[in-house]
Amino acid sequence: MKKLLSPIIFLLILLTVAFTSCKKATSSEEAPPDITGIQPESGPVGTAVTINGSNFSTSPASNSVSFNGTAAEIQSATTSQIKTTVPDGASTGSVSVSVAGMTAQGPAFTVEEQSPGIKAINPESGAVGTEVVITGMNFSVTATENNITFNGTNAVVKQASETELVTEVPDGATDGPVKVIVDGKTATGPTDFDVITEGTLEFIVQTTGEDKDQDGYMVTLTNAGTGKSTASEDTVYFEDLSPDTYTVELTNMADNCDVSGSNPRDGDVAAGDTTKVAMEVICTSTGGTENDLSKKIVFVETHSGTGNQALYVINPDGTDKRLIRRDRDNNLLLPDISPDGTQLIYQMNQNSPSVWKVNANNSGNTKLADNASTPAWSPDGKKTAFVRSANLVLMDADGSNEVEITDKTNTDGVESPAWFPDGSKILFRCDQGFGAAATQLCTVKVDGSDFQQLTNDSYAYREPSISPDGSKIAFHAYLDDNTGYKPRKIYVMDADGSNMTLLVDEESYHPTWSPTGSYIAFHGKYDSDGDTYLSYIMPDGSNRKWVPGVQLYKMTAGGAPMPGGNGGPDWGTPK
């Protein structure tokens, strides 16, 4: 029996030793609390005190604080900071913190019953000018007998009572303690006041419309050199900005999307404040797989987001308006629909004009010619006519094989070519020595031969358009008699230049024939302000109609169209 018990007793002893060793090892891993400082170090009962250190418990109830042996109530605790108040009955002596049976002794706190004391500062941070309320005890009810400083910078006392002072963050204040001095005795706040010298800009973007941009955008503070990517519906923050006016620009939008209103726009950031800048991005239908413009009207209208002129398409009844193409930096003008209705050529005004081609669904945008203007498709779609250096030039539809077919020695310059339906010759505006504005209408064969002048008077002729059957020419014109501005009006005449007839007896521009020749579309005066809208009328002057919602020109105060309104419309392809 004794032999049997001995091993059991030995085993129990080993287990006891192992358990005790593990317990000691575990206890040795628990670090004791440590106090590195207290703020303030003196004050009356009720003064708020912050104890800084390490290895405190984050649970207030797991920490014990005493002032010279008198237990104090704890308001909050982190591993490195405890906030408490000087308890009733406290006397001058050291502050201690106990955690899990381990105690740290800190600096002495001097209890001064008749000195001012601070219980709280609200808020504990703010920009210059922020109102601050200091609650405590033993303040003077006379405002001028209280001296408040923010890290040594004097502040104005706006209101005073025994328990509350109202002040504001003074100019020149920096981060540091808030102090109240009364009768030569000083109370220090429990924590340093954070003087906010920077602000925040909050940027909000919303996207509406059709075919929304799914890739998001880039918002940039251009004068700060910083930017952030955003989703199409998003809020982003630029923090720690010095007070200033910041230029906010949204970029990287799809071609069918743009900002409504100004872009970029300014946001004024003040220290301690959050400034909101919101932008709405409006997306228009890209047309999806639509590739046929043969029965539609293409026109130029000022884009609401960029302020530049862009290419739009609409049905003659005003339905299904959509953006075809726009450029953020340049105006797009003078669109011309290809004979099969699948493409457009147009003029882009950059440093100098250039001719471009784009598909009806906004794909395949391609430059065809530099230093080129007023392009026009040939009836078979194989050639394009345009103007360069006051001469008429032909090229293949892909931009190759340029051939100059007029010589400016024969005229003072050409503009606005239009092909006759059989493709044999081209009608254009020609300058023939009747003054700077008195331009005429001329024709030339595509090989450059048989130059003919159709008109010869003191009218200035512009923007000719040939009927689908080749029998009529529509244009706008005005009498150039050097007596000031004259209204432009729409006229029709026979293809040989005879029988000129006034069609629209008011301000009107840019005529274009419908595919069947039944109507002529143009810019027409609509309201008392003289603004012009897309309109159309029969060649005999009857049955005038308006295309709803398409404003082409905004008139200036002087009664003339605003600059840059050049461009279109163009109505389908001849049938």
What's the half-sphere exposure (Cβ side, CA atoms, 13 Å) at 554? 5
CATH number, domain with residue 363? 2.120.10.30
Indicate whether 339 and 401 sit together in one domain.
yes
Give a yes or no: residue 20 inside a domain. no
Place of tokens 């539809």: 397
Long-range contacts of 287-292, Cβ-Cβ distance < 8 Å, separation of 24 or more:
287/313, 287/322, 287/324, 287/360, 287/361, 287/362, 288/211, 288/361, 289/361, 290/360, 290/361, 291/341, 291/342, 291/359, 291/360, 291/361, 292/341, 292/342, 292/360
Same domain, 175 and 208: no
CB atoms within 10 A of CB 55: 17
Neighbours of 295 (CB within 10 A): 15
221 and 143 inside one domain: no
Do 247 and 264 touch, CB atoms closer than 8 A?
Answer: yes
The 3-class SS string of 241-294 reads: ECCEEEEEEEECCCCCEEECCCCCEEEEECCCCEEEEEEEEEECCCCCCCCCCC
Under 8 Å CB-to-CB from 363, ≥6 apart: which residues? none
Burial class (CB in 10 A: 0-12, 13-18, 19+), 31: exposed
Contacts of 516 by beta carbon, 8 Å cutoff, 6+ apart:
468, 574, 575
Q: Are residues 521 and 376 in the same domain?
A: yes
Tokens read off for 374: 């007023």
Same domain, residue pair 343 and 374: yes
Residue 292 lies in a domain: no
Amino acid identity at 516: T
Q: Give the pLDDT of residue 307.
A: 63
Question: Which positions ≥6 away from 469 have C-beta within 8 Å?
Answer: 421, 517
334 and 458 belong to one structural domain = yes
Whether cis (ω within 30° of 0) applies to the bond prior to 417 is: no
* 493 found inside a domain: yes
First to last CA, the chain: 122
**Cβ-contact 508, 458 below 8 angstroms:** no
Last residue of a domain, one of 235, 253, 283: 283
Domain extent for 362: 297-571
Q: Is residue 22 part of a domain?
A: no
Tokens 């080993």 identify what position? 14
Strand partners, 234: 205
In angstroms, how far is CA 315 from the centroid of its own chain? Answer: 31
Whether residue 9 lies inside any domain: the answer is no
Q: CA 352 to CA 20: how far, in whole Å?
A: 91
Tell which residue, 143, 181, 176, has the closest CA to residue 160: 143
Domain count of the fold of the chain? 4
Under 8 Å CB-to-CB from 111, ≥6 apart: which residues?
42, 43, 44, 45, 67, 86, 90, 91, 92
Domain final residue pick, 127, 161, 195:
195
In a domain, 15, yes or no: no
Domain boundary among 226, 255, 283: 283
| pTM > 0.85 | no
Same domain, 327 and 467: yes
Pick the closest to residue 332 from 379, 298, 297, 285 (CA basis).
298
pLDDT by residue (tens digit) across 286-323? 654 457 888 888 888 776 555 678 888 888 888 888 88
- Please list the residues that pair with 238 across neighbouring strands: 201
Q: Are residues 45 and 141 in the same domain?
A: no
Task: Say yes or no: 406 and 518 in one domain.
Answer: yes
Integer Cα distance of 539 and 273 in angstroms: 64
- Asked whether residue 233 falls in the same domain as residue 322, the answer is no
- Asked if the structure places residue 376 within a domain, the reply is yes
Helix, strand or coil, per DSSP, at residue 18 = helix
Main-chain dihedrals φ then ψ at residue 7, nearest 5 degrees: -60, -35
pLDDT of residue 547: 78
Co-location of 169 and 105 in the same domain: no
Helix (H) or strand (E) holding 137: strand 131-137
Distance CA 149, CA 536 (A): 77
Sign of the alpha-carbon dihedral angle for 186, 187, 190, 193: negative
Residue 530 lies in a domain: yes
How many helices (H) does the chain have, and how many strands (E)? 1, 51
Kindly give the parts of the chain with pLDDT less than 70: 1-29, 284-290, 303-307, 408-412, 432-438, 480-484, 525-532, 548-568, 574-575
Q: Are residues 235 and 301 in the same domain?
A: no
CATH label of the domain that carries residue 123: 2.60.40.10
- Phi/psi-derived region of residue 255, left when phi > 0, alpha when psi is between -120 and 50, beta in every other case: alpha
At residue 384, what is the residue type? T
